[in-house]
Amino acid sequence: MTRLPGALEARGLELVGHSDLGGRGDGMQIMRSGDVVYVGHMGDFGVGTSVVDVSNPAHPRVLRQIPVPRGTHSHKVQLAGDLLLANHEQYPYRVGVPESSGLVVYDVSQATAPKRIGFLSIDGLGVHRIWWAGGRYAYMSARENGIRNRFLIVVDLADPTRPRLASRWWWPGQAERDSVALPGDNDIGAHHVIVQGDRAYGGYFDKGVVVYAIRKDGSLDLISSLSWPEGGHSHTHTALPLGSRSLLAVTDEAIEPNCDGAPKNVHLVDISDERHPREISRFPVPVGDYCGRGLRFGPHNVHENRPGTFQSDRIVYVTYFNAGLRVYDTSDPLQVREIACYVPEAPPGQPAIQFNDVLVTSDRLVFVTDRVRGGLYILRHV
C-alpha cells in the first residue's frame, strides 16, 4: 500500500486518501458527482480535466485525463445535473496566443466519460473562473481583445450545445474605448462571482469586493464595492455569502511568493446595507514560519457552499497555500476563530504545499488540491 503523505500540522482533520493524479498533480478546482470527482489542472502537464473514481476515498483512482490544446489550460470546472463546464484560457499566462480560448460544455450523463457537446469561443485570451449551479445563465471572468485584464461575462446556456454570450460587465476604464482613464499602476480585473438569489458577490482584484444585482435577463448591475485601506495590489478573489446573515467572507489571493506584496487577508464584510458594505473583522492569520517555507503563503479560495454540497452560514473553509487548509467559525463575527487545519508535508521536489481549491461534500468529506504537483487530497473531520 502506498504511504499517505505525512502531516506538518493536523487539528480536527485527518488525511483519508491521496492521488498524485497520475504524476500530473497540478490540481485546481474540484466538482463531485456521486462516486466521481472532476479535477481541473493548472496546465503544466498538458492535462485539462481528470476524472477520478472516489467510491473508496482511501484509494482514489484516475479513470481518464482530458488533454488541452497547446498554449491553453482548463483549470476550472462547474457541475450541475448532467452538464460540466470547463474553461479554456491562455497558459502560461502572458505567453503567446492560446490555441483555444473560451468555454467548453460536456455531457456527463455517463459520469466517467465526459462528452464535449458545446463550445463558446472568446476573441481573446479566454475564460478564467466560472460560477454555474444550474439554470439558464452562467457567470464567469474572461479576457477579451480590447479590454484590459479580466472582466465579467454572462453566458446563456438555454441550449447547452450552443452557448451564447449574453452580456458583459467591466470596470469603467478597462475597455480601450472607455472615456475614463484608470491609474497606470493598477491590477483592476474580475476574478469571479458567487450567485445567491438575485445578487452576485465577487472579487475584483484592486477594487476589492463587489456586489451586483442580477436583472431578469441575467445581466449584472453594480450596487457597490469596497476596497481595503492598506494600498498595494489586494488581488481580491472570492466573496462568499454566509446564508441570510448579511455577511460576506472575502479572500485576497496571495499571488506573490515569500510574503512579498501587499498583505493578503480574509475579510468579514457586513452587507446589511448593501450600498455601503463595511469590513467588520478579519480572520486570524496562521502563525508559523510560513514566509520562510517558500512559494505562496496566504488565502486563496473557499468552499463555496454550492447546492448539493456541505452548507453552512458559519463554517468557512479556506485554502491558504503553504499553510494548507484552514477552517474557521464565524458564529461571533467580531471574533472569528480557527477551529481546524491540515498542512501536509511538501510533495517530492516542491518546497512547500500549495493548497489551492477545496470542495466539501454533504457527507463532510473534504477534497483539496495542490496547484504544483501534489495532486488531490481527501480529508475527513475527526
Buried b (16+ CB within 10 A) or exposed e, 3-36: eebebbebeebebbbbbbbeebbbbbbbbbbeeb
Average pLDDT over residues 296-304: 98
Q: What is the pLDDT of residues 21-44, one digit of tens each?
A: 999 999 999 999 999 999 999 999
Q: Which of 349, 351, 356 is nearest to 371 (CA)?
A: 356
Q: Which of 142, 159, 182 lies at the terminal end of a domain, its last residue?
A: 182
Judging by beta carbons within 10 Å of its beta carbon (0-12, 13-18, 19+), is residue 222 exposed, middle or buried? Answer: middle
How far does CA 66 lie from the centroid of its chain?
Answer: 20
8 A C-beta contact, residue 128 and residue 142: yes
- Mean pLDDT of all residues in the chain? 97
- The yes-or-no verdict on residue 62 having pLDDT over 90 is yes
Residue 325 pLDDT level (bands cut at 50, 70, 90): very high
Q: Please, how many CA atoms are within 13 Å of residue 196, restricted to the half-sphere of its CB?
A: 18
DSSP, collapsed to helix, strand or coil, labels residue 93 as: coil
Can you give the pLDDT at residue 2? 72
Residues 214 and 103 in one domain: no
Q: What is the mean pLDDT of residues 367-374?
A: 98
Same domain, 156 and 34: yes
* Planar angle of CA 233, 239, 244, nearest 5 degrees: 150
**Same-domain status, 189 and 173:** no
Please say which residue of 182, 208, 238 terminates a domain: 182
Q: Which helix (H) or strand (E) holds 202?
A: strand 199-205
Is 201 in the same domain as 177?
Answer: no
Contact (CB, 8 A) for 191 and 236: yes
Residue 264 in this model has a pLDDT that exceeds 70: yes
Domain of residue 318 covers 185-347+357-364
Residue 232 has pLDDT above 90, yes or no: no
Q: Which strand ranges, in their side-by-side order, compose the sheet holding 355-360? A: 13-19, 375-381, 366-370, 355-360
258: helix, coil or strand?
A: helix
Mean pLDDT (whole number) for 251-280: 96
Between CA 320 and CA 41 the distance in angstroms is: 18
Distances (CA, A) of 280 to 309, 318, 330, 335: 28, 19, 12, 10
pLDDT surpassing 80 at residue 1: no
SS3 of residue 37 by DSSP: strand
pLDDT of residue 230: 86
What percent of the chain lies above the pLDDT cut of 70?
100
- In this structure, the answer to whether residues 173 and 192 fall within a common structural domain is no
Q: What is the mean pLDDT of residues 1-18?
A: 93
Q: What is the CATH number of the domain that holds 166?
A: 2.130.10.10
Q: Would 234 be classed as within a structural domain?
A: yes
118 burial level (CB within 10 Å; 0-12, 13-18, 19+) = middle
Based on the fold, state whether residues 34 and 117 are members of the same structural domain: yes
Structural domain includes residue 39 = yes
* Residue 33 sits in the same domain as residue 177: yes
Q: What pLDDT was estimated at residue 231?
A: 81
- Domain-embedded: residue 114: yes
Give the pLDDT of residue 84: 98
pLDDT in tens, 128-185: 999 999 999 999 999 999 999 999 999 999 999 999 999 999 999 999 999 998 988 8
Q: Is 217 exposed, middle or buried (0-12, 13-18, 19+ CB in 10 A)?
A: exposed
Residue 236 is predicted with a pLDDT of: 98
Give residues with Cβ within 8 angstroms of 64, minimum separation 6. 50, 51, 112, 113, 114
pLDDT, residue 313, reads 98
